[in-house]
Structure 1
Amino acid sequence: MLTLNQLNNLSELPDLALCKLDNWDLISVAGEDRVKFLQSQLTCDVTTLKPGQQTLAAQCTPQGKAWSIFRLIVLEDKILLLQPSSVTEVQLPELQKYAVFSKVEIKKETEYQALGLTGIESDQYIEQKFNTTAMAGPASLIEDGIVIKHPYPSLRYLIILKTQQAESFIQNLTDKVKLFDDSLWNALNIEAGITFIEKQTAALFVPQMVNLQALNGISFKKGCYLGQETIARTKSRGINKRALFLLSGNATATPQVGDNIQIQLNGNWKRVGTIVSSCQYAGSHIQVLAVLPKDSHSENIYQIQDINDSRLTILPLPYSLEE
């Protein structure tokens, strides 16, 4: 199985690459109250979503800090939350404890499996395999699962299939595809400016600090939900002074989630932020997503604390942060 550090950058993507998302969990929310329950817990408006639709969303503490950010996927009989496995041990009990008076069942999903497909031939393969030519939006229900299209930074598909069908899908692609671990999928998320909370950063950031509002993961029109007061006040008063930035550079060691970012000021280094996602390509090339002051700009030079030879600069995000 290939890894990201066998590529110099994403321009070297194979024509067809399959990522096994082994370090991601699917959380299943089933039962007749699943929509009503999640509406009271999450930042997105679950009531507007129909089977075959999806969105980014967050589950927050009562103080408005994100336990987790995930991709919420609506199936006919359940709702799935896709998130990094590391955060599940702290997030899942927090979600379950509020469900005791609702007719819902919340657990780690075992019936379905998540895969990522990317490369210039992925579009054609998906159309042939699942007959998704008539996709009206970014997601399409298929037999035994769902296909979700991500158009940037490189064409890619998130595929959720029942486990048996997923294994067959992988087997049928064996001689057509380069198989990667999920370090490639992580790098594609970083390039797209999308972060997912890991255990190290759970309950540290208001969702606006990781740009969730710019990715349509927060509804400011829905009713009350856990943490809503803080999130709404952050918007209405304009009090959020931090945002998610994409940085690129070089380092001899791989940066870790939770590492500190420093800025060079008057010949000294000062801590200004926290890494929430990171990846390392071949050689010393790295990219990270980090929460920094909103007035940070590309002329600054940044360093990862304790990696003294690291140097990073800010790159443009593929979306706007303008309100």
Structure 2
Amino acid sequence: MTELTASTSVWLDFLKQQGAQFDADGIELQGFGPTAPAPESLESFMAPLTGLGIIGVTGDDAASFLHSQLTNDVERLDTSVARLAGYCSPKGRMLASFLMWRNPETIFLQLPRTLQPAIQKRLQMFVMRAKAKLSDQGASTAVIGLAGPAAKNSLAEWYPVLPAEPYAKIDNANGTLIRVADSSGSARYQWITSPELAIAAWPKLAQHLTPTSPQAWRLAEIRAGVPGITASTQEQFVPQMINFELIGGVNFKKGCYPGQEIVARSQYLGKLKRRAMLATVDSDAVAVGAEVFAAADPGQPCGMVVNAERAGEGRSLALVEMKLAAADGEVHLGAADGPALHFHDLPYELADPQ
């Protein structure tokens, strides 16, 4: 676990004063008390994304170094956009998924805080003679996710002009604002700023948006079809198995990176037979990494839960990596007679490789 700075501690202490409850480590926000609206019921909300970490990479060779390690183009990453990117093992299996952006001095990689120390250490091992330095940038920042129809007006004081499309980015004296993938027809934004500014802005934001836990944000990510690698799913998936290339996370024209040959082979040789599907599960206790089974072939799993969150009424919403053929029949969680999965359309097409 990364160490927190004094300013971040002030941010967490402020959230506690607003009724926020945290996990045993005091980092991951669990909610705003028993009387707060259920996260799954909210249309417009703001969620402190305290469980996210940020790796900063600086130096003359920062871009070229990361370009040789990640699935997306870093050398041509503009300061006006953000991108998704993956970090793979030599076998092409994803170790981490990032939201990536930059300013003139630093390239930033956002990932779950629980994964950050090991991923940062692994990247550092491959710096060697490159002029690149990795540091923990998340320990001194506040990240707020804002979503829903009311999000636009809530940000007007700090960002009179908002990013016009998903993955567009604006920097100003108030920090960085990134529009991420829309969810349920509404724009979503990540505001990365100082804890001090986040504290000052909180009462004004709360006039428009309901404070809630990151669960609401993760539900919106699932509805948007954006997968995230966690500790339970590291080295389980080639990027295409979780639709990562369909949402802009893989550049097939860039140079080599760990696992690149396998990722390219998966793209161009034969038809992809596995994808991530959006599903409602008849259970409110769905573990990430849990296996799913097709009733027609109960002896072996047909897939795995990538991400899942409670969605109310005893159900969960999940992204499930699985055999495409199995989605035409009955699929169940944990065993062939476990809770049923009900599939829904994703907001993008599950296109075949060209």
- The one-letter code matched in structure 1 to 2:315 is H
Q: State how far apart, in whole Å, the 1-side matches of 2:107 and 2:278 are.
A: 30
1:272 paired residue among 302, 307, 314: 302
Q: Does 1:64 align with 2:96?
A: no
The question of whether the paired residues in 1 share the 8 Å contact of 2:142 and 2:195 is answered with yes
- Residue in 1 that maps onto 2:54: 26
171-180 vs 118-127, which moves further: 171-180
The question of whether the paired residues in 2 share the 8 Å contact of 1:52 and 1:146 is answered with no
Q: State how far apart, in whole Å, the 2-side matches of 1:201 and 1:120 are.
A: 33
Partner of 1:155, secondary structure, is: strand
- The one-letter code matched in structure 2 to 1:161 is T
**TM-score normalised to structure 2 length:** 0.82
- Any idea what the Cα deviations from partners look like across 1:37-96, whole Å, max 9, x if unmatched? 111001111122111311111011112111101111112321111112232243222211
Q: Which runs of 5+ in 1 are unaligned?
A: none
Describe the shift of the 1:97–1:194 C-alpha distance in structure 2 as closer, same or farther (beyond 3 A).
Answer: same
Instruction: State the Cα distance separating 1:211 from its structure 2 match.
Output: 0.6
Q: Aligned ranges for residues 79-94 of structure 1 at < 5 Å?
A: 79-94=107-122
The question of whether the paired residues in 2 share the 8 Å contact of 1:8 and 1:281 is answered with no
Instruction: State the Cα distance separating 1:314 from its structure 2 match.
Output: 1.4
The question of whether the paired residues in 2 share the 8 Å contact of 1:58 and 1:66 is answered with yes
The question of whether the paired residues in 2 share the 8 Å contact of 1:300 and 1:313 is answered with no
**TM-score normalised to structure 1 length:** 0.89
2:343 paired residue among 311, 314, 317: 314
Q: State how far apart, in whole Å, the 2-side matches of 1:166 and 1:3 are.
A: 17
Q: Aligned ranges for residues 183-198 of structure 1 at < 5 Å?
A: 183-198=215-230
44-53 vs 189-198, which moves further: 44-53
Q: State how far apart, in whole Å, the 1-side matches of 2:347 and 2:33 are.
A: 21
Q: State how far apart, in whole Å, the 2-side matches of 1:264 and 1:122 are.
A: 43
Q: Which runs of 5+ in 2 are unaligned?
A: 1-19, 21-30
Instruction: State the Cα distance separating 1:292 from its structure 2 match.
Output: 0.1
Q: State how far apart, in whole Å, the 1-side matches of 2:230 and 2:221 are.
A: 14
- Residue in 2 that maps onto 1:305: 334
168-177 vs 242-251, which moves further: 168-177
- Residue in 1 that maps onto 2:286: 255
Describe the shift of the 1:221–1:259 C-alpha distance in structure 2 as closer, same or farther (beyond 3 A).
Answer: same
Matched pairs, number: 318
Describe the shift of the 1:307–1:188 C-alpha distance in structure 2 as closer, same or farther (beyond 3 A).
Answer: farther
- The one-letter code matched in structure 2 to 1:97 is M
Q: Does 1:285 align with 2:315?
A: yes
The question of whether the paired residues in 2 share the 8 Å contact of 1:54 and 1:72 is answered with yes
Q: State how far apart, in whole Å, the 1-side matches of 2:123 and 2:345 are.
A: 35
Instruction: State the Cα distance separating 1:36 from its structure 2 match.
Output: 0.7
The question of whether the paired residues in 1 share the 8 Å contact of 2:294 and 2:326 is answered with no
Instruction: State the Cα distance separating 1:192 from its structure 2 match.
Output: 0.6
- Any idea what the Cα deviations from partners look like across 1:98-154, whole Å, max 9, x if unmatched? 113211121221333221011211112223431225747732222242212233333
- Residue in 1 that maps onto 2:242: 210
Q: State how far apart, in whole Å, the 1-side matches of 2:213 and 2:39 are.
A: 16
- Residue in 2 that maps onto 1:232: 264
Q: State how far apart, in whole Å, the 2-side matches of 1:216 and 1:90 are.
A: 25
189-198 vs 21-30, which moves further: 21-30
Q: State how far apart, in whole Å, the 2-side matches of 1:53 and 1:244 are.
A: 25
- Any idea what the Cα deviations from partners look like across 1:205-225, whole Å, max 9, x if unmatched? 111111111011111111112
- The one-letter code matched in structure 1 to 2:199 is E
- The one-letter code matched in structure 2 to 1:93 is K
Q: State how far apart, in whole Å, the 2-side matches of 1:168 and 1:43 are.
A: 38
Partner of 1:222, secondary structure, is: coil
The two structures, once aligned, show a CA RMSD in angstroms of 2.5
The question of whether the paired residues in 2 share the 8 Å contact of 1:4 and 1:282 is answered with no
Partner of 1:151, secondary structure, is: strand
- The one-letter code matched in structure 2 to 1:276 is V
The question of whether the paired residues in 1 share the 8 Å contact of 2:151 and 2:209 is answered with no
Q: State how far apart, in whole Å, the 2-side matches of 1:61 and 1:95 are.
A: 11
* Greater than 6 Å deviation, 4+ residue runs: 3-9
Describe the shift of the 1:117–1:136 C-alpha distance in structure 2 as closer, same or farther (beyond 3 A).
Answer: closer
Instruction: State the Cα distance separating 1:311 from its structure 2 match.
Output: 1.5
Q: State how far apart, in whole Å, the 2-side matches of 1:152 and 1:83 are.
A: 20
- Residue in 2 that maps onto 1:152: 183
- Any idea what the Cα deviations from partners look like across 1:127-183, whole Å, max 9, x if unmatched? 343122574773222224221223333321111113322232224434543111111
Describe the shift of the 1:179–1:97 C-alpha distance in structure 2 as closer, same or farther (beyond 3 A).
Answer: same
Determine which structure has greater relative contact order: mean sequence separation of CA pairs < 8 Å that are 6+ residues apart, divided by chain length: 1
Q: State how far apart, in whole Å, the 2-side matches of 1:188 and 1:105 are.
A: 33
- Residue in 2 that maps onto 1:163: 195
